[in-house]
A and B are shown apart, each in its own frame.
Chain A
Amino acid sequence: MDFLSFFENDFKIIIPELYLFGSILLLLSYGAIFSTSQVLKFPIIQINVGWLSFFTLTITFFLLLQNPLSSMVVLNNLLIIDPFTTFMKAFVLLSSIFCILMSMNYLEFKKVNTFEYFILLLLATLGMLCLISSYDLMSLYMSIELMSLSFYILAAYKRNSEFSGEAGLKYFILGAFSSGLLLFGSSMIYGFTGLTNFEDLAKVLTGINGIASSTSYSGILIGIIFVAVALLFKIAAAPFHMWSPDVYEGAPTPVTAFFSTVPKIAIFALFLRIFFYTFYDFIFFWQQIFIFCAILSMVIGSLGALYQKRLKRFMAYSGITNVGYMLIGLASGTIDSMLGLLIYLIIYIVMTIGFFSFILGTRNQNSNLNTYISDLTNLGKVNPALAFSVTLIMFSMVGLPPLAGFFGKLYLFLAAIQSELYSVAIIGVMSSVVAAFYYIRIIKVMFFGTSNVYISYIKMDRLNSIILSTCVFFLIFFFAYPHPFLMSSHKISLLLCL
């Protein structure tokens, strides 16, 4: 009977996920049938499947936005759909669309001829969509597993490279370990409260600060800590960041682009849901965890990147630093801090996507991507417009006004000061200065670098250049018209916190 009632409203609301799931199955069978068809002489349908998956995600995006019902808890309280989830899902879908477009050129050049790449990307996206909507510890775990399993395979995608296999293996082991921690934490929470639904937990744990005896909820606290640690593993926050430089380095570059941008959106959405809604009353405990992780991430990230010579490892450490900044927003625990977190997340994703599209677009004459930072020398003379765009992205990552990165940091540090986390703010700005040093080094290498060999580049392909220019345009003109992002972030912050 319960199942029949789902047909009334529930399935209408989760149409985006259902559509995505159906089209994944359809694309999988389409790919499998046609790529093994002897009649057509085993065509390579990879780019074909790529564009089909692009269209799939676009239609999913429009289905998401055209949802007739706005706010509902569906499927036996397993998933929730409300404006917050709609916003984050839209963001995830847009970033995934950009990542798919970025990878087309790479796959063509590297002759990676298996179409499953896009299927896996779509599966990961589906996992992330479900993750953002999850409203129960069970659906949380299932969605994280769906997302992570797709990632493990994607990290090891280049079959003839041991580097890639090693990356996949490392990611798998650490990811499975953190999922185990997540399960342990969830089971502790379930054991001590008997509930797994976030809303029920929020109701049970209301006002728990007022209860005098502190022993009654230590079990739940252990559960929360384990869940937090597991999620921190997934976003590569220090001290759980060890896997990210190696995995980012070994995975194929578009997969790295996907890793460093999209899961962070999903898991931060999850963080916001869990810690700002469910466990908000325990704030004095988890605030300390996040402060510690934020400080450590910022320090380790900025100091670690100083010695890097390879581009992708450098981006991994820069990702750790940025996660540190976002954890400040999470630690502050106010509505303004959530606003700052969302704004910074948007700007960070745009910057990273822009930078990765630059990396994927510049191939030297042997059709190889640049591995080392010193490969970028003379770019200022060869292609000054490209070098200038990357300069703007780098200055935005430093946080120089009037580019967008400054505004992200502004809101975050404002939130930190409002919550009186002065030491965190000071450490944050200091690590920002240390970070400036190595971001400027990339600019220096491009414009003022000297090399003995003249490095020339193949012309950048159209998709990557469109993505790069869109991102740079956003970064430059965010200053002039931030209204839609500020408005929507503010609205959903109020929605979640109140």
Chain B
Amino acid sequence: MFEYSSILLLLIALPLIGIIFLLFIPNTESNLQKSVGLSVSLLTFFISILLWLKFDMSTSKYQFVEKFFSVPYSNMHIYIGVDGISLFFVLLTTFLIPICLLASWDSVKIHIREYSIAFLFMESALICVFTVLDLLFFYIFFEAILIPMFLVIGVWGSRERKIRAAYQFFVYTLVGSVLMLLGILWIYFQVGSTDIQVLTTVEFSLNAQLILWLAFFASLAVKIPMVPAHIWLPEAHSEAPTAGSVILAGVLLKMGGYGFLRFSIPMFPDASIYFTPLVYTMSVIAVIYTSLTTLRQVDMKRIIAYSSVAHMGFVTIGMFTLNIQGIEGSMLLMLSHGIVSSALFLCVGVVYDRHKTRIIKYYSGLTVKMPIFSIIFLFFIMANIGFPGTSSFVSEFLVLIGAFKSNIFVTVLAATGVIWGAGYSVWLYNRVAFGNIRTTHIEAFQDVNRREFMIFLPCIILVLLMGIYPEIFLNVMHVSITNLIEQTQ
């Protein structure tokens, strides 16, 4: 019947075909432009569900492997494929992009077609990042995402500081990445190939592993972000348009985590074990420091941005525990954080679209006039804290179990992070939604309309599903992660 093996190529090609369609639609038909972008991304999402359905969960081999292309006159053949680790990142990407496009339906007024083109290009590049089985091409697509993201932040961003934010985003990421490039080139020189399946069989000497791990760490630490290199994130988030923040928090940060899981840990196991204390320290500092920093913020998006950094601190703790609970917890946390943070940014976007300000001082008592919005906002704030029943609880719990096996002190400190998280999240919600309604600055309120409700509904369903029955998601990852851990022993 239908040959399933070329799904991945179809997934990569569909957004590009959508871009070609979009190029022919004139600017007078802006609704048609938006609809075409949305339909193409929805179609991509539904096809990617097929990927999940047809996934074989009993093996850790790469599935749906397809030859992407071959570089001529050299023995380089680039393959794309998914395994348990990358499957959910692909799904997260294809899930979030239609939500992004739907969220910016009314708020993007200039250059609508170029906006959709940027997002579709990002979708294609992101799917390539997560599926390509070659180190050099991972790097190429990793960097290629910088171009549309830079343009999205700069052109459609909200305030004057957007230029500085775009610069910071760009230059920070570039500095780390070029060091990773040198590491990749050295690996290519030594091994003769950059294919992942070849590289996981190569053993590097300890010194080489240490230096290469640090080179890769430079890039991935900026991307995740870890504490000293995290400054670009609050700037970029608060200046980007809503959908830009959604995709940034939802998927782009996960590229760093994916890089660790796919490259750093399997290829440099000794160095990973060597540097685990460093990663633990940085992550714990990230969790505590950023949670406390949010207490002083006045911009809602910045609070959520800093909380993203805190959650990603949890993720890195989980990843470097190098046992199955920890890594599964960190993967589930990445997925959950992708949905929860994105939904929180969407909530802020709802308010921003109406009143054009994100400063908490202007809002109070929103429950009176925007009840549905308040319920949705409450749900996601609770999810952010790690309330049992939501996905964050399951994932943070797994991470803490994994960390407990590895290092008790780190677990204690990270667990306090849950308390800080509860602190700032509930305080944010209190200030914005509860209390007396403040009409000194805002006169008219309007609750969520149908489009906005529709973007929240799938997020709510997913968060609840992941929280109540995470096994559906964890099932897929078991074998691949077990394989990963075997490699480090």
Contacts and interface: CB of A to CB of B under 8 A. Distances in A.
Interface of A: 380, 384, 391, 395, 398, 400-402, 406, 410, 413-414, 417-418, 422, 425-426, 429-430, 432-433, 436-437, 440, 444, 447-448, 483, 486-487, 490
B137 to A, nearest CB: 9
B171 A429 contact: no
A458 B35 CA distance: 36
B182 A436 contact: no
A414 B188 contact: yes
Contact of A426 (B141, B150, B167, B182): B182
Nearest to A407: B140
B7 interface: no
B174 interface: yes
B73 A487 contact: yes
A400 B146 contact: yes
Contacts of A395: 147
B162 interface: yes
A414 B72 CA distance: 18
A436 B140 contact: no
A437 B171 contact: yes
B121 to A, nearest CB: 11
A397 to B, nearest CB: 13
Contacts of A417: 182, 185-186, 189
Given A426-B182, A429-B178, A444-B167, A418 B141 contact: no
Nearest to A450: B160
Given A400-B143, A483-B73, A413 B182 contact: yes
Contacts of A402: 140-141, 144
Contacts of B139: 401
Interface string B151-168: 100110000001100110
B379 interface: no
B150 to A, nearest CB: 8
Which 4 pairs of residues, A with B, have the shortest CB-CB distance? A429-B178, A401-B140, A417-B185, A414-B185
A400 B178 contact: no
Interface string B69-87: 0001100000000000000
B144 A433 contact: no
B208 interface: no
A303 to B, nearest CB: 15
Given A400-B144, A444-B167, A448-B163, A486 B188 contact: no
Interface size class of B (residues with CB under 8 A): 20 to 34
A378 B73 CA distance: 45
B40 interface: no
A46 B149 CA distance: 47
A446 to B, nearest CB: 11
Contacts of A429: 178-179, 181-182
A390 to B, nearest CB: 13
Contact of B155 (A414, A432, A447, A483): A447
A399 to B, nearest CB: 8
A486 B73 CA distance: 9
A23 B144 CA distance: 48
A13 to B, nearest CB: 30
Contact of A444 (B136, B147, B154): B154
Contacts of A433: 171, 174-175, 178
A440 B170 contact: yes
Contacts of B179: 426, 429
A413 B181 contact: yes
Nearest to B211: A422
A410 B71 CA distance: 14
Given A448-B162, A483-B73, A486-B73, A400 B147 contact: yes
Contacts of A490: 73
Contacts of A384: 111, 114
A414 to B, nearest CB: 5
Given A395-B147, A436-B174, A410 B73 contact: no
A242 B171 CA distance: 29
Contacts of A380: 155
Given A440-B170, A444-B166, 13 more contacts: A391-B151, A395-B147, A400-B143, A402-B141, A410-B181, A417-B185, A417-B186, A429-B179, A444-B154, A447-B155, A448-B166, A483-B72, A483-B73
Interface in B172-203: 174-175, 178-179, 181-182, 185-186, 188-189
Nearest to B142: A401
B147 A410 contact: no
A395 B72 CA distance: 25
B332 to A, nearest CB: 31
Contact of A486 (B72, B111, B141, B182): B72
Contact of A432 (B150, B162, B178, B189): B178
Nearest to A431: B178
B293 to A, nearest CB: 27
Interface in B48-68: none
Contacts of A487: 72-73
Contacts of B151: 391, 447
Nearest to A419: B189
B26 to A, nearest CB: 14
A447 B155 CA distance: 7
Contacts of B167: 437, 440, 444
Nearest to B183: A417
A462 B272 CA distance: 57
A300 to B, nearest CB: 19
A440 B168 CA distance: 11
A466 B185 CA distance: 36
A433 B167 CA distance: 12
A384 B166 CA distance: 19
A347 B77 CA distance: 24
B360 to A, nearest CB: 28
B145 to A, nearest CB: 10
A447 B150 CA distance: 11
B185 A413 contact: yes
B319 to A, nearest CB: 26
Central interface residue in B111, B162, B175, B182, by most chain A CB within 10 Å: B182
Contacts of A447: 151, 154-155
B126 to A, nearest CB: 14
